Structure 1
Amino acid sequence: MDYLPLFFKLTEQPVLLVGGGAVALRKARLLCRSGALVHVVSHQVCADLETLLDESAGQIIIGEYHAGLLDDKVLVIAATDDDQLNERVHFDAVAKGIPVNVVDNPRLCTFVFPAIVDRSPIVIGISSGGAAPVLARLLRARLETWIPRSYSRLAEIAQQFRNQVKARFGSVNHRRMFWESVLQGQVAEKVFAGRDKEAISLIEEKLQQGNPEHQIGEVYLIGGGPGDPELLTFKALRLMQQADIVLYDALVSPAVLDLCRRDADLVFVGKQRDNHAVPQEGINALLVQHALEGKRVVRLKGGDPFIFGRGGEELESLKQHNIPFQVVPGITAASACSTYAGIPLTHRNYAQSVKFITGQLKNRTSDLNFAELVHPNQTLVFYMGLHSLDHLCAELIAHGKPGSTPAAIVSRGTALDQKVLTATLETLPALQAEAQLPAPALIIVGEVVSLHENLSWFGEEVLSQNLTPVKAGH
């Protein structure tokens, strides 16, 4: 590597900044955040820089730069548009053995400013050595989204307990295990939720328990969304990356599953029509078992765990065994599939309410209140209704819903092979019998379906009533 990453401690240390414009202001802000005493030399200094130095006990020298200004300085930055002056600053600093940075001129730098992710006391620097600073900034932006700002508080709380942990655990390995359980487990999640007092109490409790090898784990109930991995929440991704074991459903896409921690155990517990890999009671037992073994367990569900996902039943089981858990909502299929199909669920001209309904009929019969479902100006979204499509459409019509009401099937919504079949309540079952769109699929009923032709944007294959494939936008 061309540069060795180092961190300078600049608290109350004198630093010389040559230049008084906008570029100098950006560098001064960084220096002042680190606690440096900034001395600026320039013929003119912008108002914002004046204010900054006034607030941070800095100093302004109006006039010419000269080598004597480097005396007693620990760092120097040249931020002017005068190439000859920048070179003088470089050679003078090198002669005195002072680290120097000339902005936007790597050839004249003995150190460079990285792109910074600041979660003080955690600080991350990203540098391209001046080769591609924009790329470094793009990487910083990506890290900013992955690293919660509350890591700052987590580090501060951990610092409070360093001496106590060292005294409690004589083994370096035990100390490492303790801190891993704190920084990746319940304590960290309490801090991320803004519950610092509970986090501190939990650390104290863990110190009393002693052996970090035999502490209870935690369960993360995560909504994996409809399949597109880019629709995951940041929190879901963070927890998936620290899982010891992942119990996942059939509706979790391979692309989402691939984002789990690489060395986590993956266990399929999916349910499909008439084929349950693991019964619900067995899933509940597995969650309890692995958590009691001290593992971080991710329960990964398609869509949202609280919308026809039986997440509540699983949490009740965990609660009975005093196992801590978290729930991370996911984008439910109704929202995602309708959006990717260009069908707004509500629209002031067509629908002022929306209902989510399970179409998976118990014992092949239905106890749905169809009288409530036929009201005008509402959108109906049926989950898991593909196999009962004939019955659902017939009952809606029998209870007064016009057979001409627009209806659609969105198959494999948000996936690259998404297909949309648009028709009416009267014609949809026969068209689906011919088209045979596969599950997972969503049925949408209501006037909003008529907007699909104009609002479709995802580029999916669209099947109209004559079943002639049409590309969206054509």
Structure 2
Amino acid sequence: MTLPSLPLFHRLTGHPVVVLGHGEAAEAKRRLVLRAGGKVIEDLAEGIDIGARLAFIAHEDEGACEADAIRARGAGLLVNVVDKPALCDFTTPSIIDRAPVIVAVGTGGASAGLAKALRLRLERLLPQSLGTLAEALYNARSAMRARWPTGPERRRALDAALEDGGALDPLREGGNVDAWVAGAADGVSGRFVIRLRSNDPDDLTLREARLLGQADAVVAGPDVPAAVLARVRADAARVAPGTDEPGGGIVVVIERA
């Protein structure tokens, strides 16, 4: 499956960002840039001269939007033209802020209303303690390396802790990272077989979807649909059937039922 766009988190602190236009749409972009620590520049030529990399364009006149978009793009800036996806190099998502955790919901410019509705629904699910949990995990990195020396060992233990009902379930309040590191199990490992019932990844059980997301290696032939393989971790090894399977960790074999 091809992504319509690649989601990235761009650090703006102290960097110039061009914002052109008047009215509420332009003001909203100015507030967004300032919230991210950027420096708002309201003149395109000045922005180009001082090395701006992003430009938000929110003129009411469509011709002015197109002209400034061409100028900015020609100078090497990435451009966002408000409400005109066809003129955009990037779009801005609807944001849930649990700093340092940031959840971004985007539709590639197809429907800002849908992105907003999803954000509001997710806001009710995600506790305010997510940021505290993230900071505690960051502070526990040395202790985690001592407890689980290799990357795969740490990932498996953390996957087990963060899953539904785990010791650090992120959708529940009150997870204690220090206590978890001191007493946690090493997490699941082994060889697991998933037998597909259809080409639709939505037909995977919750356990099967979780295994694909946690797998260190996946054994799959060319008949396995791309939509199913899209559920696999991007950094998991892909192994052809009949070849040597890696030892250790979680190995998931995908077969036809």
Smaller-chain TM-score bracket? 0.5 to 0.7
Residue number in structure 2 paired with 1:167: 146
Residue number in structure 1 paired with 2:178: 204
CA RMSD of aligned residues (A): 2.7
Q: Contact 1:168 / 1:210 at 8 angstroms: preserved in 2?
A: no
Q: Residue 12 of structure 2: SS of its match in structure 1?
A: coil
Q: Contact 1:74 / 1:98 at 8 angstroms: preserved in 2?
A: yes
Correspondence 1:192 to 2:166: no
Within a 5 Å distance, the mapping from 1:122-201 to structure 2 comes to 122-184=101-163, 185-188=166-169, 192-193=173-174, 199=175
- TM-score, normalised via structure 2 length: 0.63
Residue number in structure 2 paired with 1:6: 8
Q: Identify if the C-alpha distance between structure 1 residues 191 and 134 changes in structure 2 by more than 3 Å, giving closer, same or farther.
A: closer
Inter-partner Cα distance in structure 2 for 1:38 and 1:177: 43
Within a 5 Å distance, the mapping from 1:238-249 to structure 2 comes to none
- Deviation per residue, 1:87-111 (Å, 9 max, x gap): 2220111101111111011121111
Rg comparison, structure with higher value: 1
Residue 38 (structure 1) shift: 1.6
Q: Residue 263 of structure 1: SS of its match in structure 2?
A: helix
1:29 alignment partner AA = R
- Deviation per residue, 1:180-215 (Å, 9 max, x gap): 34434334579714xxxxx5xx4334433465359x
Inter-partner Cα distance in structure 1 for 2:15 and 2:115: 27
**What stretches of structure 2 of length at least 5 have no aligned partner?**
189-204, 209-257
Q: Contact 2:130 / 2:170 at 8 angstroms: preserved in 1?
A: no
What percentage of residue pairs aligned between the two structures are identical? Answer: 33
- Deviation per residue, 1:207-260 (Å, 9 max, x gap): 33465359xxxxxxxxxxxxxxxxxxxxxxxxxxxxxxxxxxxxxxxxxxxxxx
Q: Identify if the C-alpha distance between structure 1 residues 148 and 211 changes in structure 2 by more than 3 Å, giving closer, same or farther.
A: closer
Q: Residue 113 of structure 2: SS of its match in structure 1?
A: helix
1:174 alignment partner AA = E
- TM-score, normalised via structure 1 length: 0.36
- Deviation per residue, 1:145-189 (Å, 9 max, x gap): 222222121111111112321232123332123323443433457
Question: How many correspondences in the alignment?
Answer: 187
Q: Identify if the C-alpha distance between structure 1 residues 203 and 138 changes in structure 2 by more than 3 Å, giving closer, same or farther.
A: closer
Equivalent in 70, 74, 81 of residue 95 of structure 1: 74
Equivalent in 45, 55, 66 of residue 67 of structure 1: 45
Q: Residue 16 of structure 1: SS of its match in structure 2?
A: strand
Inter-partner Cα distance in structure 2 for 1:134 and 1:16: 25
Q: Contact 2:127 / 2:171 at 8 angstroms: preserved in 1?
A: no
Residue 68 (structure 1) shift: 4.3
Inter-partner Cα distance in structure 1 for 2:40 and 2:16: 6
Q: Identify if the C-alpha distance between structure 1 residues 154 and 207 changes in structure 2 by more than 3 Å, giving closer, same or farther.
A: closer
Residue 70 (structure 1) shift: 2.4
Inter-partner Cα distance in structure 2 for 1:10 and 1:175: 31
**What stretches of structure 1 of length at least 5 have no aligned partner?**
42-64, 194-198, 215-260, 265-474
Equivalent in 189, 192, 206 of residue 262 of structure 1: 206
The higher-RCO structure (CA 8 Å, 6+ apart) is: 2
Correspondence 1:114 to 2:93: yes
Q: Residue 117 of structure 1: SS of its match in structure 2?
A: strand
Inter-partner Cα distance in structure 1 for 2:116 and 2:110: 12
Inter-partner Cα distance in structure 2 for 1:36 and 1:154: 27
Inter-partner Cα distance in structure 1 for 2:118 and 2:77: 30
